[in-house]
Amino acid sequence: MANSLRSEVKKLYKNLLYLGREYPKGADYFRSRLKAAFLKNKDETDPEKIKQLIARGEFVIKELEALYFLRKYRAMKQRYYSDDKP
């Protein structure tokens, strides 16, 4: 049981680290905040609490993806549509 949770946590960390490369405030800022968040909970041993933390991390992934899609949408809209229309 513990090994499966450990692998899930490592997978979550890697996914967040990958998504953090395009973070608006910079990859270094995101990496330091991510590392601090994971180190804060490194001594957690309760499987239910770990599952809750993993679910929170997956929520953060969804929020980051939404942020990136919105940024891409705004860039495409700005590129192809002018704001001069009445």
Among 29, 6, 2, 15, which residue's Cα sits nearest to residue 57?
15
Asked if the structure places residue 47 within a domain, the reply is: yes
3-19 per-position pLDDT tens digit: 789 999 999 999 999 99
Work out how many domains the chain is built from and give that number.
1
Q: Which domain holds residue 35?
A: 3-81
Asked if the structure places residue 86 within a domain, the reply is: no
40-78 per-position pLDDT tens digit: 999 988 999 999 999 999 999 999 999 889 888 888 888
Among 12, 19, 14, which residue's Cα sits nearest to residue 69?
19
DSSP output for 40-62 = HTTT---HHHHHHHHHHHHHHHH
